[in-house]
Structure 1
Amino acid sequence: MTVFEEIAHTSKSRAPLNGWLVASGFVVALVLAPVVALGFIAARGSGELWPHLIRYVLPTAIVDTATLLIGTGSLAAFIGVGTAWLVTAHRFPGRGLLEVALLLPLAVPTYIMAYATIDLMHPLGPIQTAIRAVLGIASPADFRLPDLRTMWGAILIFGFVLYPYVYLATRAMFLMQSACVIDVARTLGAGRPAAFFRVALPLARPAIAVGTSLVMMEALNDLGASDILGVRTLTVSIYSTWVNNSSLGGAAQIALVMLAVVLGLIALERWARRHQRFNTQAQRSRRIAPSPLTGIAAFGAILFCAAPILFGFLFPGLYLLKEAAKVIARDGIAPHLLREAATTVTVASIATVVTVGLGLILAYTARLVRGPLPPFLVRAGSIGYAIPGTVLAVGLLVPLAGFDNAIDGVMRQWFGVSTGLLLSGTGFALIYAYAVRFLAISTGGVESGFLKIAPSLDAAARNLGETSSGVIRRVHIPLLRPALGGAALLVFVDAMKELSATLLLRPFGFETLATHVYSEASRGTYEDGSVAALLIVLVGLIPVALLARASQVPHAEGVRTAGRISSEA
């Protein structure tokens, strides 16, 4: 083979690789476009509104946001770490059931939890009515509990719903810790409490930091619960500035402040664990032997683990079930609710296919192409999960409107026909937002599936004449079906629950189950939104069941799974 023939052969063999890199670069450009556009919108200013925002809106929004994040993160960390240690290191009645049931609050979106809890805790609601009946008090004026529409009420609701993020990550880290470490501490004179605080807890700090950061970002992204509870966070301020004041520039400026908060949280989390390293030999590790608890100690452990399940899932779930049964018995299932359910499933399904497809491109490029660029593209493509839905919505308007205006200008000039808005204010905008927001879930799921496929299969297929596209089509996709199915399920459920971006980008007259619940809660007609809320919770139980099943693997496999979960987080 001559030199020229070898160069031509090398260029031809690298062409598919370059094609995958270009496709991944296009995916990342789609993700980063809203962030870049956000800067342009904010730079144009908001006219006379900005001084008003600086003086009256931003100070309250920043203080409320910081208070909510610190309070929610602290409460979620306390519940998550405490329950994770109890079910890992101790044995008491009902431990196996509680270990799985502690995941259930993940199925309840924060805005549904807020809407159900407010109705439950209303002065005329069932809880306060029962308390007055026990105390022999007739009038609500003589006895009433504090109103939940306060900051402390929001912290309680967010903490009881979001703590499973800390619980999952911390329990995984506790599973990785060898019993030898605890045994050494015990032989040196440390009791069980001292071994926990001086050995197990410091070793679990990376997982606690990751879980707490996820809790804070979820709380920051929330719009429905914060608005219902009267907490004026940055997310609520963006929504009210855009919708009520009709100021896109002002909303973009607040969104930039919010984006800075998100980046600050990520930087703080990484800085806090910059020197922390933890290694274990999975084959030689021995799980911490659970110590038995009896008497008051066992009762306290049961109560501590059961409380977040009761308040974070069971009570609101039973309330939704009761109210939904009443509404269906009285009015049946309204036709508009069926249309909204069909709309929700359709949009979420399309968004799931798109998101999983884009995640497959990024993950396969990282497997196929060597060098630092593919891992960077994967990380850049996953940044959308850290961007709140309101920020994404504001940033999407400019690129979509620019595309619409360009097409409209060309059609007017060439054919004298106006095309109007093709993408803005349509379902495409929602699908775009969902894909950017949940691409990290899809990419992470597909990457974990690729780790289980030996590289030798790729080499064998290539030696048999398959191209890179043929390998993924005929070898990888059949083997990736479980991973693709899991990622698709998680994306679908998250898309069904997404509220912030849906409220800001939905077309006129477009309603999903999430927006229906929010609209009823905003009007105070909680019972009318119970059927839609119950449907969302029931769908949310599917990924929780999968997580619970994954957590009940044998210990050796469990240690490896726990390590993978912690490293991916």
Structure 2
Amino acid sequence: MTTRTAPIAHRRRGLSGLRGLSGIAIFAAAICALPMIAVVIAALGGGTETIRHLIDTVLGDYIRATLALVALVSVGAFAIGVGAAWLVTMTRFPGVRWFEIALVLPLAFPAYVLAYAYTSLLDHPGIVQTTLRNMTGWGPRDYWFPEIRSLGGAALMLTLVLYPYVYLLARAAFLQQSGTTFLAARALGKSAWRAFFQVSLPLARPAIAAGVLLAVMETIADFGTVAYFGVQTFASGIYTAWFSMVDRVAAAQLALCLLSFALLLAMLERLQRGEAKYHDPARQAQAMPPMELSGWQAASAVVACAIPVVFGAILPIVALFTMGMGSEQNLLSPRYLGFIRNSLTLAGCAALVTVAAAVAIGFFQRLRPGRLSWSAGYVARLGYAVPGGVIAVGLMVPFAAFDNALDAWMRETFDISTGLLMTGSIWLLVIAYMVRFLAAALGAYEGGQAMVHDNMDAAARSLGQTPIGTLRRVHLPILAPSLLTALLIVFVDVMKELPATLIMRPFNFDTLAVQAHRLASDERLEGAAVPSLVIVAMGLLPVILICRQVGRGK
């Protein structure tokens, strides 16, 4: 009797564990869908009076500024990313090995940190204009200088930090191309430039389009840069409506507009990725031969690759360090240690929760492939396309309603006030981070899961392992490097996230990003440089991992 019931009990425990894992995966996907559903309900339930007022006043400005910013960043990221990827992949010039890694470094910078650094350098009191006036004797009205605090300035900052998305994907696409088609075009009399535009570029189009769309989604989600430069986009409008105007309906309706645009971009990315297939029967026949550059061509390549590295990483670090040395901010003071502790607490909790949700969803899809698991994974990935401000509004509205309803019921029934249990709590902010960055964690997890063959699962089951036991004893040890990468990516993304933190943080619970934004808003740029440098230092961790992968890419 004992020998027969033991396997049955073992199977029951395994099924119970699998049901629990499936429940976690479905719950995480439902949480990811909640902000989008809440924004739609709040916006549509607010009537038409508010949206009419927005149309008559600011909506047109928000649309024009957002579309102009998207267009400028798209063109800039495409030009820099594709050009740099082609040069380091298909040509040889002095320093090319260093450049192929260094071109990723600007990815460590939030755009708003670059905005603070370049405002200090290029604004009227900055070192550039001050030196120009001292050398020429000009007065403030005697010359024209480009205004950094403008839509063009915001587009430049975003381009400098977002072009690595295009660069990484374009470089990978160029490395995978066979040299046969390119050499055939050259043999038919095409110049190197014409062969690039007519052969290599079309073959890499799907990867390049994916990189540009990623840059665009980050652009529409940006708040810190546009708010500091005074550019009126949807992201800054949501924050203004929520805090300055205290108009929840206006914030929800603006969030719905931005959500619609973001989901449209996500759908375009999905469609173009689904079509990203071509057949090259000679792919393995011949690798693409790099062209040796010399003379003015080599010098031009060095300059072209050095410009984004210098202006996107080296110069901002020098400027921030110089500003920080001249500030009165003490990084070791109790106040700053509190900012660091708050940032590390939020980032650490969010990274653990997000990666745990990614493991649950990814393993659920592996064990139970079907419509339900596919839907859970698809909804979980949509969060990356939803700006932080939209997620914040979408979570605050339903949880505030829940807290108020619970408090009213407790007062009426027990004469006890529960206050706000979820609204304004750390855990609601952690949930917002999970929704925002779950797609990144899923990507890292699934990349490592490809190394776990189905035969390993079958072998584990034949040895009596339950699904949870297989996950714990087989999958997780193999996936440890991928999970560590996912933890670091989410950790640093949370450190840089500004709009969701500003809207949802608990009272008197400030982070390094909030402190940098506050000091910069008060025009205390030297003080803002100190927390900005810490954020950049944290951002270098995943970038170093990416650089190592780039170095192994050949």
| Letter matched to residue 56 of structure 1 | T
Deviation at 1:545?
0.8
Deviation at 1:412?
4.3
Deviation at 1:496?
0.5
Deviation at 1:222?
0.5
Distance in 2 of aligned mates of 1:317 and 1:288:
36
Which residue pairs with 1:564 in the alignment?
none
Deviation at 1:288?
1.7
Distance in 1 of aligned mates of 2:124 and 2:511:
30
1:191 and 2:186 are equivalent in the alignment? no
| Letter matched to residue 462 of structure 1 | R
| Local SS of the residue matching 2:58 | helix
| Local SS of the residue matching 2:46 | coil
1:232 and 2:232 are equivalent in the alignment? yes
Which residue pairs with 1:565 in the alignment?
none
| Letter matched to residue 88 of structure 1 | T
Deviation at 1:143?
3.3
Q: Using a 3 Å threshold, how does the CA distance of structure 1 residues 269 and 381 change in structure 2: closer, same or farther?
A: closer
Unaligned stretches of 5+ in structure 2? none
| Letter matched to residue 86 of structure 2 | W
Distance in 2 of aligned mates of 1:370 and 1:503:
39
Q: Could you tell me whether the CA contact under 8 Å between 1:17 and 1:369 is conserved in 2?
A: no
Which residue pairs with 2:60 in the alignment?
59
Q: Using a 3 Å threshold, how does the CA distance of structure 1 residues 25 and 154 change in structure 2: closer, same or farther?
A: same
Superposed CA offset, 1:374-433 (max 9, x none): 233211111111000011011101332244245435644664422211110111121010
Which residue pairs with 1:84 in the alignment?
85
Which residue pairs with 2:69 in the alignment?
68
Q: Could you tell me whether the CA contact under 8 Å between 1:80 and 1:167 is conserved in 2?
A: yes
Distance in 1 of aligned mates of 2:510 and 2:235:
21
1:137 and 2:133 are equivalent in the alignment? no
Which residue pairs with 2:430 in the alignment?
431
| Local SS of the residue matching 1:163 | helix
Judge which range, 124-133 or 64-73, deviates more.
Answer: 124-133
| Letter matched to residue 173 of structure 1 | A
Which residue pairs with 1:213 in the alignment?
213
Which residue pairs with 1:247 in the alignment?
247
Distance in 2 of aligned mates of 1:288 and 1:325:
48
1:480 and 2:479 are equivalent in the alignment? yes
1:93 and 2:94 are equivalent in the alignment? yes
Distance in 2 of aligned mates of 1:463 and 1:533:
53
| Letter matched to residue 121 of structure 1 | L
Which residue pairs with 1:561 in the alignment?
none
Which residue pairs with 1:260 in the alignment?
260
Q: Could you tell me whether the CA contact under 8 Å between 2:18 and 2:468 is conserved in 1?
A: no
Superposed CA offset, 1:76-119 (max 9, x none): 10110011001111101111111111111101101111111111
Which residue pairs with 1:563 in the alignment?
none
1:155 and 2:158 are equivalent in the alignment? no
Q: Could you tell me whether the CA contact under 8 Å between 2:89 and 2:290 is conserved in 1?
A: yes
| Letter matched to residue 358 of structure 2 | G
Deviation at 1:290?
1.3
Q: Could you tell me whether the CA contact under 8 Å between 1:46 and 1:250 is conserved in 2?
A: no
Deviation at 1:445?
1.1
Distance in 2 of aligned mates of 1:332 and 1:351:
24
| Letter matched to residue 103 of structure 1 | V
Which residue pairs with 2:465 in the alignment?
466
Instruction: Say what the alpha-carbon RMSD is for the aligned residues.
Output: 2.3
Superposed CA offset, 1:243-273 (max 9, x none): 1111101110111111111122233445556
Aligned residues: 547
Distance in 1 of aligned mates of 2:317 and 2:286:
38
Distance in 1 of aligned mates of 2:440 and 2:105:
20
Distance in 1 of aligned mates of 2:402 and 2:260:
28
Which residue pairs with 2:386 in the alignment?
387
Q: Could you tell me whether the CA contact under 8 Å between 1:132 and 1:143 is conserved in 2?
A: no
| Within-5 A mapping of 1:162-181 | 162-181=162-181
- TM-score normalised over the length of structure 1: 0.91
Judge which range, 487-496 or 173-182, deviates more.
Answer: 173-182
| Letter matched to residue 201 of structure 2 | L
Q: Using a 3 Å threshold, how does the CA distance of structure 1 residues 536 and 554 change in structure 2: closer, same or farther?
A: closer
Which residue pairs with 1:298 in the alignment?
298
| Local SS of the residue matching 1:327 | coil
| Letter matched to residue 290 of structure 1 | P
Distance in 2 of aligned mates of 1:30 and 1:85:
41
| Local SS of the residue matching 2:201 | helix
Distance in 1 of aligned mates of 2:340 and 2:287:
45
